[in-house]
Structure 1
């Protein structure tokens, strides 16, 4: 080193600092990449993305390569700085060189390149991958040797490098990704994606039409009553039963009944029963995502939900599940949530007792409990453990409510007071 001029040593020191900054920035850029965006670009044929993805397939080797290079140049830079300090300032120059080099490395070889790499990870990584790929081939024996020692030490600690995280997202992590997509995904599409993720947490009972609201015909009724019910039906299919709805005998397509009506000779109870389809039963507690697949697999669009004793609990259709994902269809015959909520001049809300609790929570951003009854009427009855009189005020789950109308052992209308609405809105 004594034969090398001070100017050349300064130039070598600057070059080594640049190389150190390159390794530092490359490491941060590689580790800051969005792996899913990287995979997408690689699948689209982006060369830089393919190189980076190959390097990241073994992150232990990539980190080993970068750290070998970074430590080599930093140690060499330290040696040169020490020589320069002694030439310029004598023995005190060692301390000066150490302090000055520490500051320079920290600012120009660590913080600055790593900050840039964090801000522009793709640009830095794709460009540096060309050199890193070449260095990996040239220094592979050394990298392999260092990683062998490192991995052996980790194995002594009970860790396995090959058992790394596969990069798959859980449903909750995916939900966070969708929520943070911002303007990249339209809000309407975000809501649909989140609704799909929610299907596994919702069962068929949460969406079913209760048994007392199922459009059904007792085939033991007189013929005129049956014809009148068929003629005035607003549904595409009607359940046929004998005496009680638990004795279901078939699912009749109304258009098939109309076809039979055209031929008076074929229009009879026997032919109606013959024209009815076999009933598709669904066990209670079935998650919506499972039932959606079952509808597809069994080529069905409608089913009756039964409990463990075989009693009918309600009815659900394929459209009900699709509405849970995309929102209500305008052709829906059932009352919508907007029709069950009436804003009042004083700011309160007049709500039908049959309103679905999950729909209220989603539409109004409320926090009513959903682990029990499915309707607001059922929730209040469970809370009171009695059928109340009208004009009774209660506080339920932090919401001030007033029972307006009670009839047929059901709470028909509830008013939610405006003070609580302002807190939750």
Structure 2
């Protein structure tokens, strides 16, 4: 029974040990982890050894019990031995050791490996013969025993589950950053870009004084220059270049000097996932780009900071308005939201779940739902959220009131 308990517990402990922790300990040079990892590299041999030993001692125990009970109880001894051995094996050689091994797999697997490894060397001919027979039977069933087992690599969804379950060991801020990194592949540049209408840019066709004033009052490190319309963009003018222009020219700047100082534009196709764009920014040493559609029309502007904010959250030094500036909580519990408010930002800040697989703004979501831009106040419900349009124009819904659940 002790040998049976050993083999049963060893099997559960070996199969239940955390493979990633085991790999980490093995890389640190821990002998026990290296020994277990080497044995688990060929699980068919390990399982074959354990099952041979377990079945051998269980059958031997049953045979010995039967002989003893026949001597002690006569013909009734067969029945007594059958039920008695079954009960003892279940309690002391199966359930108890396997439960302990499942709760503490590393504590069981490490000392067991000291015995199993040399035993595997001694029993290898028998194990190999048994594996040969079983593999032949598996082939008769139409299964290839040599097919690769499931890889240890985790998918992004599985990694997300691991991070969520490790919340007690990871600070919440770090956990959120890890989850945000995993979500980058699901978010595109359109979700984080500054819309075309909000891009701060300077028309080089305007007079020099107006351009100088805009440049001197610019709150951004890079300003887009364009000719007549934003689709005819010329380049980005860096704040450092602006300072050099002002320093070198005590007199009035020439417009051509400003245009020549502009740097080339880096274009980003719409629909590019953020994880891909982050790598492209790194590869091409860029920090800013214009998002264009299939026709080459500019849709918005994306910076490296926009992608990093998706991972770490809003930077405290940013001069851009926070997403909560687009939402104001009223005394009755309703929330006034600007029509241009980004849906993903609202979902994050307000803990909502507005649909984000279509339009990116509140105005766009309502217009898509209604198929029109209402000119009068109107109430509607989208995905369970009751809202009231309180202000709109010919081409945009400007303000929307989200009603509290108690008012619905």
2:208–2:253: 8 Å Cα contact kept in structure 1?
Answer: no
Matches within 5 A, 1:2-81: 17-81=1-65
1:182-211 per-residue CA deviation (whole Å, 9 max, x = no partner) reads 211111111111111111111111111111
Does 1:371 find its partner at 2:371?
no
TM-score, with structure 1 as normaliser: 0.93
Find the partner of 1:337 among 319, 323, 327: 323
Cα deviation, 1:340-361, whole Å, max 9, x if unaligned, reads 1211111121112111111222
SS of corresponding position for 1:412? strand
Residue in structure 1 matched with residue 206 of structure 2 by the alignment? 221
User: Are residues 1:253 and 2:244 paired?
Assistant: no
Name the SS for the 1:389 alignment partner. Answer: coil
CA distance in 2, matches of 1:421, 1:75: 72
How much does 1:399 deviate?
A: 0.6
Q: 2:378 aligns with which of 383, 388, 392?
A: 392
Which residue of structure 2 aligns with residue 187 of structure 1?
Answer: 172
- The Cα of 1:390 is off from its aligned counterpart by 4.7
SS at match of 2:150: coil
| Corresponding residue SS for 2:234 | strand
1:419 and 2:405 matched: yes
1:421 to 1:216, Cα distance in 2 relative to 1, 3 A = farther
The aligned residue for residue 347 of structure 1 is 333
Task: Show CA shifts across 1:378-408 (max 9, x none).
Answer: 1111111111235321111111001122246
Q: Does 1:136 align with 2:127?
A: no
Q: Structure 2 length as normaliser, TM-score?
A: 0.96
Shift, 1:159, TM fit: 2.4
Which residue is 1:164 aligned to? 149
Larger mean CA deviation between 138-147 and 341-350 belongs to 341-350
Gaps of 5+ in 1: 1-16
Contact residue 201 and residue 223 of structure 2 kept, 8 A: yes
**Distance in 1 between residues matched to 2:29 and 2:376, nearest whole Å:** 69
Instruction: Provide the aligned length of Structure 1 versus Structure 2.
Output: 406
**Shift in Å, 1:264:** 3.0
Q: 5+ residue gaps in structure 2?
A: none
SS in 2 for 1:183: coil
Does the 8 Å CA contact 1:260/1:266 hold for their aligned counterparts? no
**Separation (CA, whole Å) in 2 of partners of 1:283 and 1:51:** 51
- 8 Å contact 2:379–2:389 — kept in the other structure? yes
Question: Counterpart of 2:373 in 1: which secondary structure?
Answer: coil
In structure 2, how many angstroms separate the alpha carbons of the residues matched to 1:376 and 1:420?
Answer: 22
Match of 1:177 in 2: 162
Which position in structure 2 is the counterpart of 1:314? 300
* Structure 2 Cα separation of the partners of residues 420 and 365 of structure 1: 17
The one of 171, 177, 183 equivalent to 1:198 is 183
Q: Distance in 2 between matches of 1:147 and 1:420?
A: 67
Which residue of 2 is the match for residue 115 of structure 1? 99
- 8 Å contact 2:225–2:237 — kept in the other structure? yes
Question: How many Å separate the matches in 2 of 1:212 and 1:360?
Answer: 20
> Which of 274, 284, 288 is the matching residue for 1:288?
274
In the TM superposition, what is the alpha-carbon distance from 1:247 to its structure 2 partner?
Answer: 0.7
- When structure 1 is superposed on structure 2, of 413-422 and 338-347 the one drifting more is 413-422
Shift of 1:174: 0.6
Are 1:354 and 1:375, in contact at CA under 8 Å, matched by a contact in 2?
yes
Cross-structure match for 1:401: 387
